[in-house]
């Protein structure tokens, strides 16, 4: 996958094959924008991200990396294989270290994840609230966090996989402090996610 943008003035948009694109196609299609995802055999192109999105993603990346025990690694914006038609890219993931087999690796199996974190953007509301949680639960990712900008402060909606139903169940909504267990203890000061531009 390259970082070159698609030329929207060109009529040569990628035409999906019969049955739609596959997870392998993300590595083969030329000139895809970086961070293109595959959802239900359709390409989902990235949009410009807000300051809140970048700050929240960086915060969770740093904090989870500090808290994760040996054997787990934290990555930001890295694609995961759910099935042939779905290769999403969570904003932050916690993954078992043995799944990282090469520095050239471009994807990870969803089964290797302990946690997926999505920071909601204007263009991703329905995907992050509805589509992705269903797919992440089906892939048996044990924990899912959805981070939203709620009236000027970060709110984290935390979910845990319920093994008997195979669906996520809420473990709480956190706005100031987040103290949970995701196979390792996490204690986060969410106020550190600054939702407003810094004052001069």
For residue 148, what is the enclosing H or E element? strand 143-150
The answer to whether 136 and 144 are in contact (CB under 8 A) is yes
Residue 197 in any domain: the answer is: no
**The pLDDT of residue 88 is above 50:** yes
Q: What is the pLDDT of residue 7?
A: 54
Whether the per-residue pLDDT at 149 is higher than 90: the answer is: yes
DSSP assignment string, 77-133: S--EESBTTBB---SEEEEEGGG---TT---EEGGGEEEEEEE--TTTHHIIIIIHH
Rounded CA-CA distance 37/1 in Å is 11
Quote the mean pLDDT of the chain.
91
Ramachandran region, residue 52 (left: φ > 0; alpha: ψ -120 to 50; beta: rest): alpha
In a domain? residue 165:
yes
- Read off the pLDDT band of 70 (50, 70, 90): very high
CATH number of the CATH domain containing 159: 3.90.1570.10
- Pairing state between β 113-119 and 153-162: unpaired
Q: How confident is the model at residue 17 (pLDDT cuts 50, 70, 90)?
A: confident
pLDDT computed for residue 172 by the predictor: 97
- The verdict on residue 83 lying in a domain is yes
Q: Domain for residue 25, yes or no? A: no
Q: Note whether residue 168 is domain-resident.
A: yes
Q: Does 96 fall in a domain?
A: yes
| CB-CB contact of 122 with 46 (8 Å) | no
Residue 60: give the domain boundaries: 51-192
| 150 inside domain | yes
Domain count along the chain: 1
CA 138 to chain centre: 15
For residue 35, tell me if it sits in a domain: no
């Amino acid at each position: 996958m390259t970082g070159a943008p698609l030329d929207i003035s060109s009529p040569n948009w990628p035409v999906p094959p019969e049955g739609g694109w596959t997870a392998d196609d993300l590595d083969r299609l030329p000139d895809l924008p970086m961070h293109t995802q595959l959802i239900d055999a359709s390409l989902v192109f990235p949009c410009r991200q807000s300051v809140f999105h970048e700050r929240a993603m960086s915060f969770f990346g740093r904090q989870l990396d500090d808290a994760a025990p040996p054997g787990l690694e934290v990555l930001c914006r890295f694609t995961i294989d759910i099935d042939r038609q779905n290769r999403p890219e969570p904003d932050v993931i916690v993954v078992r270290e043995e799944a990282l087999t090469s520095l050239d690796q471009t994807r990870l199996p969803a089964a290797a994840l302990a946690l997926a974190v999505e920071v909601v953007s204007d263009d991703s509301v329905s995907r992050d609230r509805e589509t992705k949680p269903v797919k992440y639960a089906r892939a048996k990712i044990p924990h899912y966090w959805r981070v939203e900008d709620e009236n000027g402060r970060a709110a984290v909606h935390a979910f845990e996989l319920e093994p008997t139903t195979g669906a996520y169940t809420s473990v709480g909504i956190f706005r100031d402090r987040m103290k949970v267990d995701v196979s390792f203890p996490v204690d986060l000061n969410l106020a550190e996610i600054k939702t407003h531009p810094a004052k001069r």
